[in-house]
Amino acid sequence: MNIRETFLKLTQYTYPHGTEAKLKPYLPKGFQEDDFGNYFIKIGESDTMFTCHLDTCSSYHQVVKHHIGSQFIETDGKTILGADDKAGMTILLYMIENKVPGLYYFFIGEEVGGIGSSAASRMSFSNYKKCISFDRRGYDSVITQQWFGTCCSDEFAQALADELNKKNLLFSFRPDPTGIFTDSASFMNHIPECTNISVGYFSEHQVTEKQDISFLVKLCEAVVKVDWSSLPIVRDPNDRYSDWEPEIKNPTASSLSKIINVWIDDEKWSAKLTDERIVEERSHIYGWVIRQGSYYDLESIDWDGKTAYVNYGGVNEFLGEREDLMYLIEELENIPMDGLDLIQRLK
């Protein structure tokens, strides 16, 4: 497989959510489709799951015009490139061709709230101990925290970084706690070690997006040499909230959130959502709105944890209250403890 040519083929077009099936001709022979529209294939026996996503952050399926340099691949500035996450797709295809054991998942809808991986996470993945996404900007991240929680242990991240750095002495991978969200986050409650690896793209979601193709080639060549079975399993996904105790915080701590009432065990509390939780929930609302197809010129979503408004075509339209939206968007129902700033216990 020619890595550079494969990447160029995969980025000939943008692929907004809903058009992922157009990429089926590029998937490996023998792939299957799950009940949620994701694609997967199993190679050999392994406790490792590898993931990428097929959709790009774009509104239309359109032609991409490449500008190709010796190191970077960019566009003509009129579209995104789609390296997020065709770089990851290229890596998975290369690993499959080289018969690296693992479960390989090509998810839909990551850019609209991770709907493909979120749905798939309801299935059993009890046989898997590691979930590796290839969907991180830059050159050196092995993500240890994303989706506002610890996704993999420091021991696992350091061991994986060391493995990669040994395969290419130019690499400088390291544990990185600054992750946001990709598909591996959907499995944090089920799979012990979940992470996201830098693949050498920059300025994702923008028309200035670019891919260091030289780095991508080196990374593809490195990951097929990693002994994935030797990586330590330390994190217990069941312990994510085991040490949590209520903490009273200043009600202005979460600048984006309005005060809401929540139940914790049998006690009612007033609370604000953390800014990170507001951003996460806004992403889920955005994904739901996009799937409805009612706002073709959607600009943004206003969300304060209590009330949502849709901005489109210069109009600011009321969408609904939290109590209403919870029945439509299941991700709003249960708020994790690390997504709350508690104010006071209510009588």
**pLDDT (0 to 100) of residue 242:** 41
Statement to judge: residues 329 and 180 lie in one domain: no
Statement to judge: residues 46 and 194 lie in one domain: yes
Q: Identify whether 204 is part of a domain.
A: yes
Statement to judge: residues 157 and 293 lie in one domain: no
Which uninterrupted H or E stretch holds 208? Answer: none
State the average pLDDT over residues 194-207. Answer: 96
Q: Identify whether 105 is part of a domain.
A: yes
Which uninterrupted H or E stretch holds 194? Answer: strand 193-198
Q: Identify whether 247 is part of a domain.
A: no
Query: Is the preceding omega at residue 85 within 30 degrees of 0, hence cis?
Result: yes
Inform me whether the pLDDT recorded for 140 exceeds 70.
yes
Inform me whether the pLDDT recorded for 127 exceeds 90.
yes
Statement to judge: residues 25 and 149 lie in one domain: yes
Least confident window among 58-67, 124-133, 301-310: 301-310
State the average pLDDT over residues 18-46. Answer: 97
Residue 316: which residues within 8 A CB-CB, separation 6 or more? Answer: 302, 309, 310
Statement to judge: residues 320 and 181 lie in one domain: no
Q: Identify whether 90 is part of a domain.
A: yes
Statement to judge: residues 174 and 304 lie in one domain: no
For every residue of 274-290, DSSP letters joined together read -HHHHHHHHHHHHHHHH
Statement to judge: residues 57 and 167 lie in one domain: yes
Statement to judge: residues 36 and 98 lie in one domain: yes
Q: Identify whether 160 is part of a domain.
A: yes
**pLDDT (0 to 100) of residue 131:** 98
Statement to judge: residues 230 and 267 lie in one domain: no
Statement to judge: residues 229 and 294 lie in one domain: no
Domain region containing 330: 260-346
| Half-sphere exposure of residue 238: CA atoms within 13 angstroms, side-chain side | 1
Least confident window among 29-43, 278-292, 304-318: 278-292
Each residue's pLDDT tens digit, 244-284: 444 444 434 456 788 998 888 778 888 999 888 888 888 88
At 148, the pLDDT band (50, 70, 90 cuts) reads low
Q: Identify whether 27 is part of a domain.
A: yes
Number of domains in the chain: 2
**pLDDT (0 to 100) of residue 275:** 83
Least confident window among 246-255, 281-290, 305-314: 246-255
State the average pLDDT over residues 196-202. Answer: 97
Pairing type for strands 66-68 and 72-75 reads antiparallel
Inform me whether the pLDDT recorded for 56 exceeds 80.
yes
Tell me the H-state helices in 39-153: 83-97, 115-120
Of 239, 274, 297, the one marking the end of a domain is: 239
Statement to judge: residues 168 and 198 lie in one domain: yes
With pLDDT > 70 as the criterion, what percentage of the chain qualifies?
92
**pLDDT (0 to 100) of residue 247:** 44
| Half-sphere exposure of residue 293: CA atoms within 13 angstroms, side-chain side | 4
Inform me whether the pLDDT recorded for 312 exceeds 90.
no
pLDDT, averaged across the chain: 90
Each residue's pLDDT tens digit, 201-255: 999 999 999 999 999 999 999 999 999 999 999 999 876 544 444 444 443 445 6
CATH of the domain at 32: 3.40.630.10
Statement to judge: residues 150 and 293 lie in one domain: no
Inform me whether the pLDDT recorded for 287 exceeds 50.
yes
Q: Identify whether 24 is part of a domain.
A: yes
Q: Identify whether 163 is part of a domain.
A: yes
